[in-house]
Structure 1
């Protein structure tokens, strides 16, 4: 059995390793446009802030490792076309410009995503950079020491983390987003208010509810970002507007969402026989809303890649969907969320949405120290099912959202969560878990 894998970041690496483990006799060929694999872009901000000094530590695998497993790893090779009917692909060696054809028995598409880059006036000026892969990381690390005024555009997780990193390096930092709040997809206002206060207290300029119109420059380099409401000096601009599936290769050939995300079944099979897909190029089943959505996350990617290894020959292990669980640390605040926020639930679903928020010290007050935590539950008043949750505290309590992710996945109600068994030990918590307390309040 010959397996061709196109693209090899998180989903691709997971797929290759698991295919080789489950089908050691298989011939696996990887085609990857870049000269590296498995780069954790979520660590770029940590690298900028010098929490992680060595960029190389953000790799967890390598072409050499895959080759040691018996995988033919072809780096700097771009797949130009796929003939699904005849199971052939056309490949270009980017080092020699040679073009050749290859065949497959099974095809794995782990094409990933690419940053959304609107066609801004002045967008070609130097020092306007992206933040996605290893090359982008090197560019940011090379340019940032010389920069005085840094503007980050996009207040999702990557933009927020970079903003903190640049401020920690002493830069005059501005964060711009068209939304009225930072991280609006992941958190409700009572949580983003706390996060925003952390930034403003550090002197970060939050420019929210403004749309970037153009860039202006001097001597070919960016010097100013112009929005619909103001102008901001910048000698380095990082675009973190969002991501889109990198699926032009299969456009019109496979079933996709309008944005190009490849539609797959619960065994990672695409609309073509023997063609599988995983990671940021795909749709996911978003369990809280019971809908198919595009949610590019590394956690989804490695799970889906692993499932390809299990399901390549026979449907064996089903994809369980996702709750979109995520976490972030902003200065002293540890924040996590899962499922639907109250605002997103009300705006995008037909649920009869309600929520409760509790504030309590995370462990007994007789302990030498304790910190307050704020936890929110979002639920459907009709079915009583939990739809989402968020937590914030100066103590790392983010694992509560992993627990709540399982609650949502198993379609538990507030009544069930209220009486769920959790341990008690004064070092860690109170007799009633914060999740119990919130669910009891919902009753």
Structure 2
């Protein structure tokens, strides 16, 4: 007799029904029938063994031996680091292309000045729409489809829930965008407070040491390493790196190179991993980027060692400077001399609105206004084609699109020169 079945099952990875065809072949009464069921993808197979009898009392009996044994190819392996990076680069290329097209649409509708002013908003909004139409809806991104990857929850090995998908999108796009807008103001407030505290502590230390009243004749007394002044000076000098998430990203990337688990910090927080759904040959080897992980760890270790050694030499430098200084001549400082003001990078050196006499050779009137922000020049800078803009305006513009805003001639940021009067 010839028997065949069509078995319908549900595939959680493809999120839909799957029809598998099984044909056991021919058998007679009293013989053993072997059945092998292979799914449509060819990755999973189940072997069954039946004993057939006469038609009047025929029945199917499962042997004591494991008759139901899934093939080892049934289990999808976790994706390696090259697959994950390739998928990320593909999505990054597609999103950058979409951002460029979105900026072109906004520039055509609202003008170049509006598109330049809200370039960051356009970029993040486009990325948010891209991942909302793919990841948030439970679909794979184009990069994941290109690399045959499927995203799963690491703890349950199920497709990600809507909460995790939305949380991943918000933490990977909106949270960095918010920090980018809030951190400069926060750093400015902390820096001003630290500068006042450092100046107050320096004055108090000088008064206690007698540097302001009489010459110092006695030998310098060795101070403890961790003092309030030194801690505040260290925080003031390294404020940007302390309030940055770059070290956390570096550690996360180094861990990814070793394990291949989480490329994004947001995926590590929400525990989202990839599996590789393409059939792998037996002789095909899956390689990783462990060598890059070793190099990155060595770089972090060397930088940490150099930083610690630099901190260890600070007390000796302070003692030497105090011993060589005369009465009231020099106040000890750690790295930055107190005479040099720590100005924020956003403060212009030449502001033609506050100081009309600056760069006096620029004619009065509209020629002293930037065509991008329509305000008086702040640190006027000239491009290779001869047009003048504010330094911040032309810098942001050239970073997004390396061309002159007026004549569209190619401009490199390294070729933009600030003007001085």
Q: Give the shorter-chain TM-score range.
A: under 0.3
TM-score in terms of structure 1 length: 0.23
Q: Which of the pair is proportionally richer in strand?
A: 1
Q: Which of the pair is proportionally richer in helix?
A: 2
- Return the index of the structure with the highest Cα Rg: 2
